[in-house]
Chains A and B, each alone.
Chain A
């Protein structure tokens, strides 16, 4: 066995150029796998974090019917008690109450349907980062009465700018149509133009005055100490209170759960494609190498080396090459990920034309130790499989023919 390892080792260095190309291919494959998975992970996490932090929060409480029906009389009963409960629970970092209704936005230009979100500026800014989306004017925490902020696309559709007034019309809790005139104090731009087109924000106390005689809330959003706590907090709320339904961010936002589910699927699919390319690169190189060595292998077999030993010798060469390549590739990948997870990878050069890249054009790759290990195992396994075929072919040589060939 020791002799075989020795021979394999010498064989590798007999063809330094070929061996280094093989190692380079393995390094490139491993690096590619790690960078790909890291990038997609980073992209997904960034989008999920953005949506959670700016809007959805870790968990929300509603009247069970509210989300599907959207009527303003479907508010949260006993919201004070829920708020007190949240205040006392150590898992909850912060929470905010929102008054929400569907209605219409009228400007001199036209009318469109919008969801009107009444927020409490103080607790909202503590809980979410939505106020960072303001691109013009200011957030709702100004002194201007009846303030509203609207999305950039919606404002452009209506030819509205900061300082203009619009009329919001909606049904109050008694199904009577009611209207209020609001002053545009700010324009926001979130990650989704559809969201910008369909949502406007006002202060909840001002919306409440128009909506109902008592103070009502339709949504409680909360940020927790850690996102993994979401399901336990949600089930506790659902057990403690009746007439409300608490949901985690994954249940709340189909976009988010699609990102999570489809993201995983895309990682697998794309890694698979890259691994196919890697496997065939290695397989072809190995095959070529084998044909070049036909004569040599034929000679070894004819002077009495057993076919098993020849097989082991070829495999041993592959194993040594793979281990070297994998170690070097891991190191390179680890450095790349570390470097880019700090400085971020700017994607601007990969977008065509004049397209403006939005908020996530700098990606910070993320990779868990487990994923490193999985990728390592996959790449090593693929390399071993790809070298198995040439090795098998190698021991089926007819020594007479092979020795005769040039």
Chain B
């Protein structure tokens, strides 16, 4: 066996030019396949990242009735004991962020708008999603202040600016009426477009008081140390949580529509990836076929001096393995570097304006999700192995006399 390996290895370096060409073919195939995935997935990752940061969190703990009926009546008590029991449930939890959320009317002196009111712990919130960086005017409130920060869209529609007073009216817990006046300390350019026209942020304790929901919140967002721990942490919380009325959801459970939309939009790129594989396959085949032709004489000589076909085939197979592995690894490295180099693609002209109008940055971000690297690497490897079956077949049928003469 070791002989085969050293033979194959030497064959590889005997004709450097040939090796380089074959490996390059694989490198470019991997590059094209990874690029294709990355371009198509990048925008979705940005979208999901925003939704997770500003809307759901990676894991969310709610009252079990809240999903069905998201009203304040289904809020829950948030105290030291609960905080500790959650933090103790899993040591991979980075931090926890409490929120109370409800729908209220926001008004200036003449007109009224619907709004979504969030009571937040602004320090914890900022550490999670850097919300303060989105302030376009003013400052964030301090806890306990009778103050508010609202989305720019909403502020414009109500013609309010920093220093003005915002009136909130609605229903608190168990039907208590809730209303109050709040000084606007800041205006926020909310990264989620729909929220920009609706979001009103209040200090957590102020919101709880307004809504007659002292110490109650509607959701706890859990931030894992690393995203990949999400499922595991959710599982250990489910096991450790003593309060049986609380449930933990992960973000895919909370954002099914977006994931579904993503699946739908990715169907076409997937089909195109298959088309790409066809092109890659033919490119390989051409290279390998010509390589085999070039080496027919060598094979013929080897066979005629007594090498068994099985052995020759094994050597060739190992060579193939070397080619493919080196090519794929190189390809992944090149793909990664090129992605780093072009990420993000800046849009210009009308395309850029169209994207800005929709509330996004005028860029096409690249995805660096690890799975696309190893999955595409594996697929190209499999295509390469499949195509390399051709020389093996050729050997098994080779006419020694003719080959040695060619």
Contacts and interface: CB of A to CB of B under 8 A. Distances in A.
Interface of A: 15, 17-18, 21-22, 24-25, 28-29, 31-32, 35-36, 39-40, 43, 68-71, 102-104, 109-114, 153, 157, 159, 171, 175, 177, 193-194, 198, 254-255, 257-258, 260-262, 264-266, 269-270, 273-274, 276-278, 280-282, 284-285, 287-289, 291-292, 345, 347-348, 350-353, 355-358, 360-361, 363, 406
Given A281-B279, A287-B21, 9 more contacts: A36-B275, A111-B170, A113-B116, A159-B68, A262-B351, A273-B35, A273-B39, A288-B287, A291-B18
Given A18-B293, A350-B270, A357-B264, A35 B283 contact: no
Contacts of A284: 21-22, 24-25, 283, 286-287
A356 B260 contact: yes
20 contacts: A17-B289, A18-B286, A102-B114, A111-B171, A113-B113, A175-B111, A257-B350, A262-B354, A274-B275, A280-B24, A280-B28, A281-B280, A282-B286, A285-B283, A288-B291, A288-B294, A291-B294, A292-B293, A351-B264, A361-B264
A250 B299 CA distance: 65
Contacts of B31: 276
B271 A347 contact: yes
Contacts, number: 214
Given A277-B283, A281-B283, A289-B290, A353 B263 contact: yes
B275 A278 contact: no
Contacts of A194: 194
Interface in B1-39: 17-18, 21-22, 24-25, 28-29, 31-32, 35-36, 39
A269 B351 CA distance: 14
A258 B355 contact: yes
Contacts of A264: 351
Nearest to B17: A291
Contacts of B227: none
A171 B111 contact: yes
Which 4 residue pairs spanning A and B have beta carbons closest together?
A281-B283, A113-B114, A285-B286, A288-B290
A258 B357 contact: yes
Contacts of A348: 267
Nearest to A104: B114
Contacts of A39: 268, 271-272
B331 to A, nearest CB: 11
Contacts of A36: 272, 275
A273 B36 contact: yes
A19 to B, nearest CB: 10
A285 B28 CA distance: 13
Contacts of B24: 280, 284
A18 B22 CA distance: 16
A270 B293 contact: no
Given A284-B21, A288-B291, A269 B268 contact: no
Given A22-B286, A261-B351, A356-B260, A113 B198 contact: yes
A372 B286 CA distance: 25
B347 A265 contact: yes
Nearest to B39: A269
A interface SS class: helix
B284 interface: yes
B267 A361 contact: yes
Contact of A270 (B18, B272, B287, B357): B272
B70 A157 contact: yes
Interface in B183-207: 194, 198
A29 B110 CA distance: 64
Contacts of A347: 267-268, 271
A284 B111 CA distance: 70
Contact of B279 (A21, A32, A171, A353): A32
Contacts of B285: 21, 24-25
Nearest to B281: A28
Contact of B71 (A29, A110, A193, A357): A110
Given A29-B279, A36-B275, A351 B267 contact: yes
A276 B278 CA distance: 13
Contact of A112 (B114, B290, B297): B114
B257 interface: yes
A364 B275 CA distance: 17
B286 A363 contact: no
A280 B364 CA distance: 25
Contacts of A32: 275-276, 278-279
A171 B113 CA distance: 9
B64 interface: no
Contacts of B271: 39, 345, 347, 350
B112 interface: yes
Contacts of A355: 259-260, 263-264
Interface string B249-281: 000000001011101101111111011101111
Contact of B354 (A24, A113, A254, A356): A254
